[in-house]
């Protein structure tokens, strides 16, 4: 099957070459059409940087990114991003937030509202169309942001820790939601997460990244039957995948913590 997204030898350094900070180093990854890939790695290993590069928001990197076989620089109409930070617009309602990409594309009001309603329903926010973000919980705001990105109709969907700040139960249920959306839209999806269970539950493959500079440590195929749901957690293979990923991550995470402590000791700020 065709690769929707090819990442070839991508490195990114913040600051000027002799010094600066090498955030990610020589990352290569091919993602097939319709595939669901999770990226997991210690905090600060450059996951958001990688998404910024793929999405055309981070300039001046080495290596190349190909979308649908074409090399591209800058933002791309086939790539949609759900940001790690809160990004709903507080002065808009859920409906007009979600309709924003369509508004930019010049879709008529009636049509964009109809399409926005569809995505709002898909993320499970039907009934909240006229609420403003301040009236919603964090998880509902993230789902608004997801619906907005879906309304952009990207071929490749990048989600940067969309459920980062949520409790475990909500996270599992929203994971089911993401699976359902993926099943319906069949979008090529990359998901950044800190949560091993979530990565295994949702993905065809899990990319484990090292601590700074972020490299690909291991790419694990998750061979669990689909359709999956939060019930897959009880499958005994599930536990084995989780253990394998944790084994890789533990060493990296503790290296990260040690380095951060050392930096704090010398009075420098850990990035």
Ligand X SMILES: Nc1ncnc2c1ncn2[C@@H]1O[C@H](COP(=O)(O)OP(=O)(O)OP(=O)(O)O)[C@@H](O)[C@H]1O
CB 153 → other proteins: shortest distance, Å? 12
Whole-angstrom distance, CA of residue 215 vs CA of residue 171: 27
Per DSSP, the residues of 69-94 read TEE--S--TTEEEE-SS----TTS-H
> Where in 37-96 is the site for Mg ion (CB under 5 A)?
48, 84
**Cα 259 from chain centroid?**
26
Helix axis angle, 138-151 to 94-104, nearest 10°: 20
Whole-angstrom distance, CA of residue 142 vs CA of residue 175: 13
Q: State whether residue 214 is helix, strand or coil.
A: strand
Stretch that binds other proteins, among 64-72, 84-92, 168-176, 214-222 (CB under 8 A): 84-92
Q: State whether residue 210 is helix, strand or coil.
A: coil
Stretch that binds other proteins, among 4-12, 79-87, 111-119, 261-269 (CB under 8 A): 79-87
* 267 conformational bin, left if phi > 0, alpha if psi -120 to 50, beta if neither: left
> Where in 28-47 is the site for ligand X (CB under 6 A)?
43-47
Residue nearest to Mg ion (CB): 48
Residue 271 contact partner, candidates ligand X, Mg ion, other proteins, none, CB within 5 to 8 A by sort of partner? ligand X
CB 67 → Mg ion: shortest distance, Å? 21
Whole-angstrom distance, CA of residue 173 vs CA of residue 168: 9
CB 191 → Mg ion: shortest distance, Å? 12
Q: Where on the chain is the footprint of other proteins (CB under 8 A)?
A: 52, 55-57, 75, 77, 79-81, 83-87, 89-91, 100-101, 103-104, 132, 134, 152
Q: Where on the chain is the footprint of ligand X (CB under 6 A)?
A: 14, 21, 23, 43-49, 84, 271
Q: Where on the chain is the footprint of Mg ion (CB under 5 A)?
A: 48, 84
């Amino acid at each position: 099957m065709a690769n929707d997204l090819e990442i070839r030898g991508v490195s990114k350094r913040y600051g000027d070459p002799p010094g600066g900070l090498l955030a990610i180093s020589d990352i290569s990854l091919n993602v097939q059409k319709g595939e669901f890939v999770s990226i997991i790695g210690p905090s600060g290993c450059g996951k958001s940087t990688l998404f910024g590069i793929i999405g055309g928001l981070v300039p001046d990197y080495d290596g190349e990114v190909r979308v649908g076989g074409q090399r591209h620089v800058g933002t791309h109409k086939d790539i949609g991003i759900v940001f790690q930070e809160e990004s709903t617009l507080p002065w808009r309602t859920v409906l007009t937030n979600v309709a924003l990409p369509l508004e930019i594309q010049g879709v008529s009001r009636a049509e964009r509202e109809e399409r926005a309603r569809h995505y709002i329903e898909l993320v499970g926010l039907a009934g909240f169309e006229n609420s403003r973000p301040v009236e919603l919980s964090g998880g509902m705001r993230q789902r608004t942001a997801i619906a907005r990105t879906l309304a952009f109709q990207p071929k490749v969907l990048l989600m940067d820790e969309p459920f980062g700040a949520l409790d475990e139960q909500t996270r599992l249920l929203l994971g089911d939601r993401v699976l359902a959306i993926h099943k319906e839209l069949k979008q090529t999806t990359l998901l950044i997460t800190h949560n091993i269970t979530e990565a295994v539950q949702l993905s065809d493959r899990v990319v484990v990244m090292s601590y700074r500079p972020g490299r690909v440590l291991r790419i694990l195929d998750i061979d669990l039957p689909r359709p999956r749901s939060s019930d897959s957690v009880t499958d005994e293979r599930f536990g084995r995948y989780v253990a394998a990923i944790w084994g890789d991550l533990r060493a990296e995470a503790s290296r990260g913590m040690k380095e951060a402590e050392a930096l704090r000791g010398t009075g420098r700020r850990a990035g």
